[in-house]
Chain A
Amino acid sequence: GDSVTQMEGPVTLSEEAFLTINCTYTATGYPSLFWYVQYPGEGLQLLLKATKADDKGSNKGFEATYRKETTSFHLEKGSVQVSDSAVYFCALSPNRISNFGNEKLTFGTGTRLTIIP
């Protein structure tokens, strides 16, 4: 079945450092890929998404590129801030047309990110 493997945490960085959180997936066909962020005490928020190969999702300075050849969707940010401290989840959903009735999102285990001033 579908699966998402995410970089183990926790990750601690200094403010303004470069961030990479690795994510690889296993799925048939052409899934859609997502990054969600969970701030303390809150639900998950969609950070960015990509629905086909070579698409780049971006939001709030974060970027991730859908790489089908390496089945990856790594999250990057050039200069992190203290406010970026949160748990980040990589997720995929199966191709809608070929998986009607099985549209659940499959999540990675999450990576806790802490940014130190």
Chain B
Amino acid sequence: DSGVTQTPKHLITATGQRVTLRCSPRSGDLSVYWYQQSLDQGLQFLIHYYNGEERAKGNILERFSAQQFPDLHSELNLSSLELGDSALYFCASSGGEGTGYGYTFGSGTRLTVV
């Protein structure tokens, strides 16, 4: 157990639907990062939150949004889902504002859009 908890582990949904992925960071970590891992695109950075504030945004679609709550857990919302959104979505946390110490990853949510 890495200490980063992601739920659900698996999600199957239809095109056009909306889903919410949840991440609880490791105790004491203030930063949360979201990544998408697909077979053809590798690991793509989506967004970074630090202590409730958005800090960096990567290749995140407008249909996707995220937030970090006062208790530091984070949610990634994916809407108007398309087949191409099927992927593994990882959350990671780290102890400080930067990443010099590396991340701790959760085990991911596998999203299948049918």
Contacts and interface: CB of A to CB of B under 8 A. Distances in A.
B102 A34 contact: yes
A101 B55 CA distance: 5
Given A43-B2, A104-B56, A107-B42, A32 B99 contact: yes
Interface residues of B, number: 25
A93 B44 CA distance: 14
Given A43-B2, A43-B107, A105 B100 contact: no
A81 interface: no
Contacts of A110: 42-43
A42 B106 CA distance: 8
Nearest to A105: B99
B58 interface: yes
Contacts of B103: 44, 46, 105
Contacts of A89: 43
Contacts of B102: 32, 34, 46, 49
Nearest to B4: A43
A45 interface: yes
A105 B33 contact: yes
B28 interface: no
B45 A106 contact: yes
A109 B31 CA distance: 24
Q: How large is the interface on A (under 10, 10 to 19, 20 to 34, 35 or more residues)?
A: 20 to 34
A32 B101 CA distance: 8
A102 B56 contact: yes
A103 B43 contact: no
B26 interface: no
A101 B56 contact: yes
A96 interface: yes
Nearest to B108: A43
13 contacts: A44-B92, A93-B98, A93-B99, A96-B100, A102-B56, A103-B31, A103-B48, A103-B99, A104-B56, A105-B103, A106-B45, A107-B43, A109-B42
Given A99-B98, A104-B33, A104-B45, 13 more contacts: A34-B102, A43-B108, A44-B103, A46-B102, A46-B104, A96-B98, A101-B56, A103-B31, A104-B48, A105-B45, A105-B92, A107-B42, A110-B42
